A and B are shown apart, each in its own frame.
With several copies, the nearest count.
Chain A
Amino acid sequence: MEDFLKIAGHKIKNRLFIGTGKFASYKLMKQALETAGTEVVTVALRRVDIESKKDNILDYIPKNCILVPNTSGARNADEAVRIARLAKASGCGNWVKVEVIADNKYLLPDNLETLKATEILAKEGFVVLPYMSPDLSIAKRLVDRGAAAVMPLGSPIGSNRGIKTKELVQILINEIKIPVIVDAGLGKPSEACECMELGCAAVLVNTAIAIASDPANIAYAFSQAVSAGRLAYLSGIPTSINQAQASSPLTGFLREND
Chain B
Amino acid sequence: MIIKINGKDEAIDKIKNIFELITHKGLSCEKIVVEHNFSIIPKEEWEKIVLNENDNLEIVSFVGGG
Decide if A and B touch, CB cutoff 8 A: yes
**A-side interface residues toward B, CB under 8 Å?**
19-23, 26, 29, 42-48, 50, 53, 56-58, 67, 69-70, 72, 85-87, 89-90, 92, 157-158, 184, 204, 206-207, 210, 246-249, 254-256
Residues of A within 8 A of B31 (CB): 56, 58, 90
Residues of B within 8 A of A57 (CB): 62-64
Closest to A29 in B: B64
1/0 contact trace for B1-31 toward A, CB 8 Å? 0000111000000000000000001111001
Closest to A56 in B: B31
**B-side interface residues toward A, CB under 8 Å?**
5-7, 25-28, 31-33, 35, 40, 42, 58-66
Q: Are B60 and A20 in contact (CB under 8 A)?
A: no
Cβ 8 A contact of B25, one of A50, A67, A70, A87: A50
Q: How far is the CB of A210 from chain B (nearest CB, A)?
A: 8
Cβ 8 A contact of B65, one of A19, A85, A92: A19
Q: Are A21 and B65 in contact (CB under 8 A)?
A: yes
Residues of A within 8 A of B65 (CB): 19-21, 42-45, 69-70, 72, 247-249
Cα distance A87–B61 in the bound complex, in angstroms:
8
Cα distance A43–B62 in the bound complex, in angstroms:
6
User: Interface residues of B: mostly helix, strand, loop or mixed?
Assistant: strand
Residues of B within 8 A of A86 (CB): 33, 35, 40, 58, 60
Cβ 8 A contact of B66, one of A92, A157, A254: A157
Q: How far is the CB of A34 from chain B (nearest CB, A)?
A: 16
Given contacts A50-B27, A90-B31, A256-B7, contact A58 B62 (CB under 8 A): yes
Cβ 8 A contact of A47, one of B42, B58, B64: B58
Residues of B within 8 A of A45 (CB): 33, 60-63, 65
Residues of B within 8 A of A58 (CB): 31, 62
Q: Are A48 and B61 in contact (CB under 8 A)?
A: yes
Cβ 8 A contact of B62, one of A90, A157, A184, A207: A90
Q: How far is the CB of A256 from chain B (nearest CB, A)?
A: 5
Residues of B within 8 A of A204 (CB): 66
Q: Are A56 and B62 in contact (CB under 8 A)?
A: yes
Q: Are A48 and B60 in contact (CB under 8 A)?
A: yes
Cβ 8 A contact of B7, one of A19, A43, A47: A47
Q: Given contacts A43-B64, A45-B61, A47-B6, could you give 20 more A-B pairs where the C-beta distance is less than 8 Å?
A: A20-B65, A20-B66, A26-B64, A43-B63, A43-B65, A45-B63, A46-B60, A47-B59, A50-B6, A50-B59, A57-B63, A58-B62, A72-B66, A90-B32, A92-B62, A158-B66, A210-B64, A249-B65, A254-B58, A256-B7
